[in-house]
Amino acid sequence: MWQAFRNEMAPLGLEIVTVGLDTAGVEACRPFIESAAPEHPSLIDAHHRMAELFGVVNIPNGVWIDEHGQIVRPAEPAPAPPSIELERNMNLGDMAEIPERMMAIMGEASKIQANPQGYEAALRDWAANGADSEFALTEHEVIERSGSRSSAEALGHAHFEMATHLELTGDHDAAIRHFRSAHELVPSNFAYRRQAWSLEPSLDGPLARFWQGPAAGDEAAWPYAGDWLTDVREMGAENYYPTWTA
């Protein structure tokens, strides 16, 4: 998705590194990576290390790092040019009938606000002007904008890492307990919620990981306090990402 932009920007000294955050790991990411055939580094992050180290709270998020290894913009919504993430990811072409919940999810997703044009223009400005770009922030601004991390939230990150470890070592029930703790302690991290929800086997087929909620008629078996559709409706889809500011 970033490949064409990357090829244009690489000669100007801007490289792109994509990181697939998914406890389901390399096999879940592989089809998308092979389809995109990136020439830039494309990495797999089963434990969401990037969330812990860079303050990522939702997907897609981008972090700008200068030539000296200094962050000049902390994690923020990073819509790819053009931003059609959901349609890109879901293979609906061969489905006879799209389930009602999926239609509702797509309806909410269509209300999500993003500013791919503004983001791309800012990236081009930074690539051309470096530290003189109005979009390159000072260290103080970077830290201030990097999102909150109380001691409770830090504890939530530890629970999330424990959850991913337990999921990967085959104890799904124990993983759920720690995912729940992470959700309670780091409510701002929507990626943590999406990750846990996407691992629940509510249905089979290509929509399985996008369903992110209880199976129809089996609501009592759903192990989490929220689900994608309920939570996005509560927060308002237009608030899904914070408004991007220069």
Partner 1 sequence: MITNTLSVSRADFERRTGWQLKPEDACKGAVCVPLDPAPVGDVVNLEQLAEQMHLPLVHEPQHGVWAVGPESIGARALASAQAANLMLPDINGDTFELDSLRGTKVLLVAWSPY
- Smallest separation, CB 28 to partner 1 (Å): 5
The token duo for 28 is 């879940």
In angstroms, what is the minimal distance from the CB of 209 to partner 1?
Answer: 4
Nearer to partner 1, 85 or 220 (CB): 85
State how far the Cα of 24 lies from the Cα of 7, in Å rounded to an integer.
Answer: 29
Minimum Å distance from CB 93 to partner 1? 17
Q: Specify whether the CB–CB gap between 233 and 213 falls below 8 A.
A: no
Q: Tell the smallest beta-carbon distance from residue 44 to partner 1 (Å).
A: 6
* Nearer Cβ to partner 1 (75/112): 75
**CB 143, min distance to partner 1, A:** 5
Nearest residue (CB) to partner 1, 34 versus 220? 34
Minimum distance of partner 1 from residue 18's CB (angstroms): 5
Nearer to partner 1, 54 or 220 (CB): 54
CA-nearest of 145, 161, 1, 189 to 81 is: 1
Q: What is the largest CA-CA distance in the chain?
A: 57
151 or 245, CB closer to partner 1?
151
> Please, which residue, 2 or 240, has the CB nearer to partner 1?
2
Closest CA to 142 of 64, 194, 220: 64
What single-letter amino acid sits at 215?
Answer: A
Q: How many other CB atoms sit within 10 Å of the CB of residue 57?
A: 20
- Minimal distance in Å, beta carbon 121 to partner 1? 14
Distance CA 167, CA 170 (A): 5
Q: 74 or 220, CB closer to partner 1?
A: 74
> For residue 8, which amino acid is it?
E
Q: Which residues, at least 6 apart from 63, have a Cβ–Cβ distance to it below 8 Å?
A: 54, 56, 71, 73, 74, 75
Structure tokens at 203: 């249905």
Cis bond upstream, residue 116 (ω within 30): no
